[in-house]
Structure 1
């Protein structure tokens, strides 16, 4: 059980008033029990709880006190509440302090039993001002702790003479020509603004000192860096934190992967002396993790090793792979958190962190797991965040875990879709979608490759069965499938065995080559997801017959106005029916909520408007 699951279980049982959980006893044995609160650094929480709560149960048995690990966080600390008699609480506190290697915390004073029941105040929402665990001394101890590790070397960039010769005007022209690249330091807290590295035009300008990488790029038959690569490489090779905002299929994986290779090779501690990986890459889904690992193997550099960890497969094999002391670990947030808490993933020597598809991970609810792991990684690391969109959650995460990052926007900071894909919106009834779908599939040519996105697992299964019955070469992938079946589906659509992939949003961030059509059988609830879905075609700027077709019903009308904005921004045709639906929604919604601020809730249906 991961630390996050334990915390969630604690919250649930606290609400129900249960007291049978060994890790979280929400009731007191008697009214004279005292409550003592401690703020403990997150890197010690796993040690306190133990695997499956074994340590905390032993602590409670030994001391007679109830020890609660709450879900309250403050920076890199978690609130722990100790409940019990004065003697039991003091004993538990001493053990907790010993586990955290801190000097003793204030103990509960020895007082005579109270003649009347003592009223216990609720847990504080913020730590006490004079709490030891929030003191400058604690911060100094943390600095001393990290000073034991070798210094991180980050800057490996030697600017090519051709790049050095570029004038400010030339730099501005290159950025404009490369899909209007915008660079900024809007999160900088210092008055002194550091210059941002100039963009590159060729692979040689980036890696002229790394001929092995140039050979790999030439074999891949790439002609020139993509927009995100030409600006990201000099920034990352210079050792700076970076936030990359670019459309899906824009070459973001190589943008952070090749500098990671050079970063690993340049560290002072050799692999055999380093415990744990040097690079951690976090991605939202198993398929993305596998895909990134394939890229690592494809561009193998200087005997660098990697492994991927995710759920649904043999845990022992993944732990054994981690014990090989690999250089790069690519993981999904949940499994990464699980392995870290169990002590199988040692993260203290990680010096380069990548959060790929950060917006997708936050949409999928992984923010807590990401934060837990980043707390345990040294603060002087180099951090890279890649995202297709720039929502508030990504901004919040970036503000917390990056230091003066360079933000690289390719195209626009606003929500936009790839311009290399023709976008078509078909306004129809729910009952019409099935016939429309199979009419489209029947008209596809032999060279076409299609992804059909469904909103639910049940719908994906139904459409998959219909494809089989109609003898259409198809594969399917959705949540709950065995990992072997998921991998087989990806292989079938990749090698051409199947030309139609029926899927849910588990593949909305996956790179599948030569996809010509994306069909949104069910329109996504959030427009960010729409951008991710249609980005599965038109990859790396490919144009031609690439097209996305979206079935849009009255139940989707809350997204009509935003869809029109995206279509217009990409110079796409907007149907009259879609405009009418957007106007109707706006009219009825405002009529129903005349002088009220629009609530942030699930969009109302037609029936709800007239009820």
Structure 2
């Protein structure tokens, strides 16, 4: 497609789109970017600088403007040019006017061409199924991938179209593992003993109906895992790690052998490094050089901003072979995140919401992703992200390598694993039954709702100088209330929940990590994945709605071989959770109060009566 340019076109205000001629900002508008776009005045367009005009196909005007003016604002930000969409059209073309310097014109032209010209020359996988288009062009790593027209007989065969589309992409290399002689010499009996000693590791191809390839043996040392990669060994030594954790000693051989994996282990078990180090090796081992690739090679999806930022911090800590990463999450600076993506990154760590946003806008290119990680998959399903995950994962290469991590193995995670992994090896440490960390003493206080606050501040008053506490509340309002009460009592505290500004959330985590704050008051956004050193106590001010969250909250203390204490305030409103809580406590050999057994029995009896006589009503406020 060619574009016609003319210099120094006069500015005619009657040709300017009503979108760009709004004089009064909408006070309800939530995005500053949209307000800026709506408030661009005609006088700004007449500012000093040359004027160029550019014709684009009318069908791409919406794509150039973007939702709420997001794209055109980004174009102006990146190019330095002012861009106006006019009403003037000519044979399915619409006039754009650009104001600025010659350099800004060049950048703006290049960016607009990427949105219009490239998209017209090629078409996506979905379009290939619904449209018959002939294409003859050479595939390069920096262009969208065209697809040949399928034969008429196969036109409606989606599987055939998929296969034909992805065949244009470079081959994926997955196998980088070389078994160390000491590992090779291990007998089957030795392997069983090693797995048993390492918290009873159980390994199986859980979704396979046939016997697949042999499962790699576990390693005992970093040298056995990375004998071919001295740079990684030096980084591990620099980080002063002693030996692999149970999940790491089995996961590294599996992932470097190119297998899909489902890792199930308690929080704080080292799952992040278990999938990150093989990801580094995977990136370096691909046939296409990094500088010639479009988009990232590795995508890590995490349920919360804090976990995503923590994973990004771990990547930057290792600094392996100039591999760079970008963390995209809601609440962060969108323009900055888009600029980082366009500058070229090897690893993207994303929360599902922002991942979908940038995927929709075309800023996140996912078709060259060859290594996918779904971290804390059970939490993402609990938070309702399954639809967003499936929508984006459909566009990633089907022959990629996939890793899923989880602390539990519910039916939703199994369903996701069936859809997006291929003959995975499941590695679980301990048991598939839900259990809490045995390094944590679990104490249950059964009390009235009105007694919680006094009990809490009595505990705070008796804290030791080295104690560090995370307090979990069920609502944002309760979190704010306790935080204000702590401030009024001059207690060194911080708080975090999803309504807080991102900068405040990051500052709260930094304060509890460096010891500026001794008390962190939080909702369940802090219950997963956060690795905060030296947390001595967890207080469940409000008992969670499901037992899985209880397990994750408990896991915030007693990490990395240390011990901790969990204190839970259990009221009559929580009696439906009594039976499951008893199972957790008994498995960990913890004291179970007699009142908890009574609650469990009464609730079970109530449920039985309700089943036998479903027409009989039960008042919500009935005596427990």
TM-score by length of 1: 0.77
1:8-19 equivalence runs, <5 A:
none
Residues of 1 paired with 2:517 and 2:557: CA distance? 16
Residue pair 1:48, 1:99 contacting (<8 A) in 2 also: no
Residues of 2 paired with 1:563 and 1:522: CA distance? 14
Q: Residue 312 of structure 2 corresponds to which residue in structure 1?
A: 293
Identify if the C-alpha distance between structure 1 residues 329 and 438 changes in structure 2 by more than 3 Å, giving closer, same or farther: same
Q: Residue 174 of structure 2 corresponds to which residue in structure 1?
A: 154
State whether structure 2 residue 208 is matched by structure 1 residue 188. yes
Q: Relative contact order (alpha carbons < 8 A, sep ≥ 6): 1 or 2 greater? A: 1
Q: CA deviation at 1:577?
A: 1.2
After superposition, give the CA deviation of every residue in 1:158-201 in whole Å (9 maximum; x if it has no partner). 00000000000010000000000001112013x33321111111
Q: Residue 534 of structure 2 corresponds to which residue in structure 1?
A: 514
Q: Residue 337 of structure 1 corresponds to which residue in structure 2?
A: 356
Question: Which of 431, 436, 439 does residue 450 from structure 2 map onto?
Answer: 431
Q: Residue 406 of structure 1 corresponds to which residue in structure 2?
A: 425
After superposition, give the CA deviation of every residue in 1:124-174 in whole Å (9 maximum; x if it has no partner). xxxxxxxx9997633222212111111000000000000000000010000
Residues of 1 paired with 2:555 and 2:397: CA distance? 34
Residues of 2 paired with 1:394 and 1:133: CA distance? 37
Equivalent pairs, count: 494
Question: Which of 537, 548, 572 does residue 566 from structure 2 map onto?
Answer: 548
Q: Residue 283 of structure 2 corresponds to which residue in structure 1?
A: 264
State the superposition RMSD in angstroms: 2.7
Question: Which of 587, 591, 594 does residue 605 from structure 2 map onto?
Answer: 587
Q: Residue 378 of structure 2 corresponds to which residue in structure 1?
A: 359
Q: CA deviation at 1:479?
A: 1.4
State whether structure 2 residue 597 is matched by structure 1 residue 570. no
Identify if the C-alpha distance between structure 1 residues 248 and 99 changes in structure 2 by more than 3 Å, giving closer, same or farther: closer
Identify if the C-alpha distance between structure 1 residues 597 and 552 changes in structure 2 by more than 3 Å, giving closer, same or farther: farther
Q: Residue 323 of structure 2 corresponds to which residue in structure 1?
A: 304
Q: Residue 553 of structure 2 corresponds to which residue in structure 1?
A: 533
Identify if the C-alpha distance between structure 1 residues 48 and 157 changes in structure 2 by more than 3 Å, giving closer, same or farther: farther
Residue pair 1:516, 1:537 contacting (<8 A) in 2 also: yes
Residue pair 2:441, 2:565 contacting (<8 A) in 1 also: yes
Q: Residue 500 of structure 1 corresponds to which residue in structure 2?
A: 519
Please tell me whether Structure 1 or Structure 2 has the larger radius of gyration of its CA atoms.
2
Q: CA deviation at 1:102?
A: 4.1
Q: CA deviation at 1:326?
A: 0.4
Q: CA deviation at 1:538?
A: 1.0
Q: CA deviation at 1:416?
A: 1.0
State whether structure 2 residue 127 is matched by structure 1 residue 100. yes
Q: Which secondary structure state, in structure 2, belongs to the residue aligned with residue 157 of structure 1?
A: coil
Q: CA deviation at 1:233?
A: 0.5
Residues of 2 paired with 1:378 and 1:462: CA distance? 47
Residues of 2 paired with 1:605 and 1:427: CA distance? 23
Residue pair 2:575, 2:603 contacting (<8 A) in 1 also: yes
Q: Residue 50 of structure 2 corresponds to which residue in structure 1?
A: none
After superposition, give the CA deviation of every residue in 1:487-526 in whole Å (9 maximum; x if it has no partner). 1101000000001000001111122111110000000001
**Structure 2 alignment gaps of length 5 or more:** 1-59, 70-122, 133-151
Q: Residue 24 of structure 1 corresponds to which residue in structure 2?
A: none
Q: Which secondary structure state, in structure 1, belongs to the residue aligned with residue 343 of structure 2?
A: coil
Residues of 2 paired with 1:334 and 1:248: CA distance? 23
1:307-386 equivalence runs, <5 A:
307-386=326-405
Identify if the C-alpha distance between structure 1 residues 98 and 529 changes in structure 2 by more than 3 Å, giving closer, same or farther: closer
Q: CA deviation at 1:470?
A: 1.3
Q: CA deviation at 1:598?
A: 14
Residue pair 1:156, 1:262 contacting (<8 A) in 2 also: yes
Residues of 1 paired with 2:62 and 2:440: CA distance? 51
Q: Which secondary structure state, in structure 2, belongs to the residue aligned with residue 199 of structure 1?
A: coil
Identify if the C-alpha distance between structure 1 residues 605 and 293 changes in structure 2 by more than 3 Å, giving closer, same or farther: farther
Identify if the C-alpha distance between structure 1 residues 582 and 135 changes in structure 2 by more than 3 Å, giving closer, same or farther: farther
Identify if the C-alpha distance between structure 1 residues 179 and 462 changes in structure 2 by more than 3 Å, giving closer, same or farther: same
Residues of 2 paired with 1:463 and 1:268: CA distance? 55
Residues of 2 paired with 1:133 and 1:561: CA distance? 59
Residues of 2 paired with 1:361 and 1:371: CA distance? 12
**Structure 1 alignment gaps of length 5 or more:** 1-46, 55-95, 106-131
Residues of 2 paired with 1:568 and 1:608: CA distance? 29
Q: Residue 621 of structure 2 corresponds to which residue in structure 1?
A: 607
Residues of 1 paired with 2:331 and 2:341: CA distance? 17
Q: CA deviation at 1:589?
A: 2.4
Residues of 2 paired with 1:475 and 1:525: CA distance? 24
Q: Which secondary structure state, in structure 2, belongs to the residue aligned with residue 307 of structure 1?
A: strand
Q: Which secondary structure state, in structure 2, belongs to the residue aligned with residue 221 of structure 1?
A: coil
After superposition, give the CA deviation of every residue in 1:3-52 in whole Å (9 maximum; x if it has no partner). xxxxxxxxxxxxxxxxxxxxxxxxxxxxxxxxxxxxxxxxxxxx999654
Residue pair 2:125, 2:162 contacting (<8 A) in 1 also: no
Residues of 2 paired with 1:152 and 1:251: CA distance? 27
TM-score by length of 2: 0.76
Q: CA deviation at 1:98?
A: 11
After superposition, give the CA deviation of every residue in 1:332-368 in whole Å (9 maximum; x if it has no partner). 0010011011100000000000000101111011001
